[in-house]
Amino acid sequence: MKIRMILAMVAACGVAFLFARLSVAQSGPAGPYTQDQAAAGRSVYQTSCATCHSSDLSGREGPQLAGANFLAQWGDRTAGELINYIQSTMPPGGAALPGDSYRNVAAFLLDANGARAGSQALTAVSNVTIRSVASGQRPAYLQTGGGPAAAETDNSKQGKQAKQEKQTPRGITVEGEVKNYIPVSDAMLRNPDPADWLMIRRDYKASSFSTLNQITAQNVNDLRLAWSWAMQDGSSLGNDPAPIVHNGVLYVNNAGMVLQALDAKTGELIWENRYGTNAGSPAMRGITIYGDNVFVTSSEAHLIAFSARTGKIVWDTTIGDRSKNQHSTTSGPIAVNGKLIQGLSGCQTFGGEKCFVSAYDAKTGREVWRFNTVALEGEPGGDTWGGLPNSLRVGAESWITGSFDPDLNLTYWGTAQAKPWMRVSRGSGNGATLYANSTLALNADTGKLAWYYDHAPGETLDLDEVFERVLVDDQGQKYVFSAGKTGILWKLDRKTGKYLGHKEMVFQNVYDSIDPSTGEPHYRNDIVEQRIGEGVLGCPSTEGGKNWQSMSYYQPGNRLIVPLSQSCLEFAAQTVDKTAGAGAGGGARARYFEMPGSNGNVGKLAAYDVRTLREIWKYEQRAPFLTGVLSTAGGVAFAGDLDRMFRAFDANTGRILWETRLPAAVQGFPLTFTAGGKQYLAVTTSNGGGSPRNVPRIVASDVHGPDIGNALYVFALPDRR
């Protein structure tokens, strides 16, 4: 059973296959496979890997599939056992792969772990021990982020593809100009025009609430498609677009690093900039507009300013030190008082640069301040990592855009878990591993820490608390609400960080108690006493009771409407290679199953009273929700799901008022705006993603959808006659 769990995330996500023929000689005996088999393995899963294992096989949602950690798990087993394991588990809940796919997949894994191709074809009865042919040394193209073109000849299929990629037009590919552009000021961001949608989740408070009320609970059933726009396909990393609108112009970032400006009323393209060469780059969660520019981050952690009028690049800043890390980002910045405040991911390399939240001058891109999210030896909180040396303290990413209180001049950010995921793998003991899994309140001018609150001290099951911080004012009090993968809604005083209450929104059993005074949770003893290779059961799973899909503060009803998911897992820690330069990865293997009491309903949408945290209403369904929630003064809440349904719910009762089925999974951040005095509703369909998409492939494998279909859909009420 333990062996069958080792590559469970391979089953959940496929194997990472950005791969090419080695261009350097290798020592040792030839492997029991041919180069053609390895190349075929790449083509079978070329769009599936990065979602869970990253493009270099270093691990993301799933375990590492190249390097010392893979060899530690599989080195003493045979290539035939590897084939049989993959064949028995992949794809989860789906039809078997055709022909020689499984043998080709295994051939790729051998090749990516330093084996040398030979003339003998790999078969399912191969008794060659993996360690005898594979060194565990990842080839150069995996270590440096190179791709097939670097190692293939121009006469190969990959070489031809590389040539085509080089010939693809870049930069401004459609010239145009936004007429009558109005620069966006600080005052406009603090008090946004209801007609606009200037940032992810609409405002500094991350409310995802609009005061527009032309579309109401009474007439929403009359919504019709006004226009649509096909978006760039091509990324398996996860596309969660969050378009913005200013003065009748809609700006949208696509997969493959394509930024576009569209007439928000008609869908007419105004300008387009294909600003990068990474066709596998996902659409970032959020872009923002400030002054004369639109600001976008790339998956390689570049912060880029584009002219909002023409789409031309104004400046391009690299975040962090590339000599120490291959940093990444998944969400864009917020603009505050002349600065852009940005989070960071990709900080899991031992000995590398730590993660941080940082601010940049909006005019020049120059870094103004940074706050390191990992406490080091000798610093406040540095003693919470169980004596680990600084080189082994990794994780604590800030991969979701924060919020801002102009009155307190504080910006609020969530952080992810310490890595490796499980305590026994990372060796941190029972320490809190600050500032992982925390809410950080930072001075927006200096980055100085005002306060922090640790939601999950010493988190150990990949249940991070990194998501949006929603700021709510009620009866003269200032609150900050958040919810993480445990599905617990946290209520804090946003001036001081004092714990004020919590609500378990889905079934959870990882904590056996939560202190009623401080909110500090206590893990079950068997979780605390975990051992390498032994599974522990927990609910929710890494899909998260709550994930990146943002909640909405429905102001008229003083309630939070939250998209939730219901699944559980068995998690088993693995030994992790802790040498400098190695990636921490996940350090665990997982098995997923339905949550008890859910009746097979993975998706849940529910409303909670801000004052009492009481659940007001709930709606449950088989498919998980894959959009944030948008609520409006018209009394409607909108949300979309994996099963391609986009629905309007009564914000007061949860009753379905309207629905439409779109061509692909409804995924991203819905928004509403006006153009020409008329209210519109926009949402994206997207493909790719991490746990919120991959876990349901196992738990709810009967929910099907296409692998393409990224697009933008805009709805409106019919014109009155």
Is the model more confident about 242 or about 39? Answer: 242
CA 136 to chain CA mean position, Å: 29
What pLDDT, on a 0 to 100 scale, did the predictor assign at position 546? 98
H-helix or E-strand spanning residue 472 = strand 470-474
pLDDT bucket at 141, cuts 50 / 70 / 90: low
Mean pLDDT of 357-366: 98
Angle at 21 between CA 19 and CA 23, to 5 degrees: 120
The token duo for 647 is: 């629905």
Mean pLDDT of 665-670: 97
What pLDDT, on a 0 to 100 scale, did the predictor assign at position 168? 59
Mean pLDDT for the chain? Answer: 88
What pLDDT, on a 0 to 100 scale, did the predictor assign at position 140? 60
User: In 172-261, where does DSSP find H-type helix?
Assistant: 186-190
Among residues of the chain, what percentage have pLDDT more than 70?
Answer: 87
pLDDT at position 469 over 70: yes
pLDDT at position 92 over 80: no
pLDDT at position 446 over 50: yes
pLDDT at position 374 over 50: yes
Task: Write the pLDDT tens digit of every residue in 456-465.
Answer: 999 999 999 9
Mean pLDDT of 609-626: 98
What pLDDT, on a 0 to 100 scale, did the predictor assign at position 90? 66
Task: Write the pLDDT tens digit of every residue in 486-503.
Answer: 999 999 999 999 999 999
The token duo for 350 is: 């031992």
- For tokens 């009420």, name the residue: 717
What pLDDT, on a 0 to 100 scale, did the predictor assign at position 256? 92
What pLDDT, on a 0 to 100 scale, did the predictor assign at position 154? 33
pLDDT bucket at 57, cuts 50 / 70 / 90: low
What pLDDT, on a 0 to 100 scale, did the predictor assign at position 638? 99
- Say if CB 686 and CB 667 are below 8 A apart: yes
Listed residue (431, 598, 461) closest to 526, CA to CA: 461
pLDDT bucket at 630, cuts 50 / 70 / 90: very high
pLDDT at position 145 over 70: no
Listed residue (269, 198, 223) closest to 662, CA to CA: 223
Q: Please state which of the ranges 6-20, 173-187, 243-257, 623-637 shows the lowest mean pLDDT.
A: 6-20
pLDDT at position 18 over 60: no
Concatenated DSSP letters of 251-302: EEEETTTEEEEEETTT--EEEEEE--S-TTPPPPB--EEEBTEEEEE-TTSE
pLDDT bucket at 199, cuts 50 / 70 / 90: very high
Separation between Cα atoms, residue 358 and residue 355, nearest integer Å: 10
Q: Please state which of the ranges 135-149, 584-598, 630-644 shows the lowest mean pLDDT.
A: 135-149
Give the Å distances, CA to CA, from 627 to 169, 602, 673. 32, 14, 18
pLDDT at position 157 over 50: no
Most confident option among 116-120, 325-329, 403-407, 707-711: 403-407
